[in-house]
Structure 1
Amino acid sequence: MQLHVRYEGDDDPAKCTARKLARFDLAELHRSDRATPYGIVLNPHAEQALSPADREKTDRLVALDCSWESAGEALFSMAGEHRALPYLVAANPVNFGRPFRLTTVEALAAGLVVLGERDHAESILSKFRWGHTFLELNEEPLGRYADCADSSEVVAVQGEYLDRGPD
């Protein structure tokens, strides 16, 4: 699956996971919505959750790389099939253990796992010291999401994690 990133460039370049993926030719960065190709857009504001059923829609996964402070709904105006990632916790050093506060590489890796491309997810996460920790922390939910048939099943599984609350 091709990985694309709509790149805003408003975070610290030294900590930017999207830039690092691009340096290793693992993702392509795009500076405008118009330049960003059609694909499955990982959008936390989407009304539908990402599920294995989305695998058939396209061979491109698209993420938005921007500061969490500016990640409003208006930024997600790219063309594509917009899907929200289900409940997962961050492993990155800035947001470790916080739900839904994923870096771009974590979001792309989660999307890849849900879409049945775990080896690809492991490959992109291997460029980060903490990358393997993301898969370890989210092993159970990612496996369960990847086994779902469609978005409604993913939402039902996610509900179980949200009902548990913090450990």
Structure 2
Amino acid sequence: MVKLYIYHANQCNPKKCTALKMGKLGKAIILKNPYKIPKNSILLNPYAEKSVSVEDRPIIEKYGVTALDCSWKEAEKIFKKVSTKNQRSLPFLIAANPINYGKPCQLSTLEAFVATLYIANYKNDALSLLNGFKWAETFIKINEELLERYANAKNSKEIVDIQNEYLSKFL
């Protein structure tokens, strides 16, 4: 299993937090200090210019993936503080979590990890994360066509092209 890290700032409802539940289930390592974020891991950052892709497999294999579970204001500060060179965004996907169901790009921490692993062709690891979350399979069902297309892309540029082509149908 790929190493998954979550910086958790205690800014959410602990009963609804997928990050804390992932920690309890042993699916991720919860970090309370942003300076403990592994420097070479993939850091999921919606502002990153490069999308996660299959090209990131060697980094993911060796260093893992990190997500932030905090307010956007806090996240922006952390992205500036943390000197990780491997920051990646996720392409367009629809949330299936109970809080943001049906909203584009409003993924829970769990959904962000599932998408990252799926896109980087760690599908078995991605699917194993779904266990313990009743609604999580819906995330795959809603996004299956896009996830498959993203997973078949050779690099970040192709993923962005797929995303833009998909979104152009609705604009």
2:132 equivalent among 124, 127, 131: 127
Q: Deviations over 1:92-119 (max 9, x none)?
A: 0111111100000000000000111111
Detail structure 1 runs of 4+ shifted over 3 Å in the superposition.
69-72
Q: Secondary structure at the match of 2:15?
A: helix
How far does residue 72 in structure 1 lie from its aligned partner after superposition? 4.7
Q: Deviations over 1:112-167 (max 9, x none)?
A: 0011111111111221110000000000000000101111000000102221228x
Q: With the length of structure 1 as denominator, give the TM-score of the two structures.
A: 0.93
What is the letter of the counterpart of residue 77 of structure 2?
A
Where does the alignment leave 5 or more consecutive residues of structure 1 unmatched? none
Q: Tell me the residue number matched to 1:31.
A: 32
Write the distance in 2 (CA, Å) between the matches of 1:163 and 1:75: 33
Write the distance in 1 (CA, Å) between the matches of 2:130 and 2:46: 21
RMSD of Structure 2 on Structure 1 (CA): 1.5
Q: Deviations over 1:55-108 (max 9, x none)?
A: 1224301111113x5365333243240000000000001111111000000000
Q: Deviations over 1:32-56 (max 9, x none)?
A: 2211113001110101111100112
What is the total number of aligned residue pairs between the two structures? 165
Write the distance in 2 (CA, Å) between the matches of 1:49 and 1:93: 25
Instruction: Decide whether the 8 Å contact of 2:68 with 2:75 is kept in 1.
Output: no
Write the distance in 1 (CA, Å) between the matches of 2:127 and 2:148: 14
The answer as to 2:52 corresponding to 1:75 is no
Sequence identity (%): 38
Where does the alignment leave 5 or more consecutive residues of structure 2 unmatched? none
Alignment of 1:130-149 (within 5 A): 130-149=135-154
Q: With the length of structure 2 as denominator, give the TM-score of the two structures.
A: 0.91
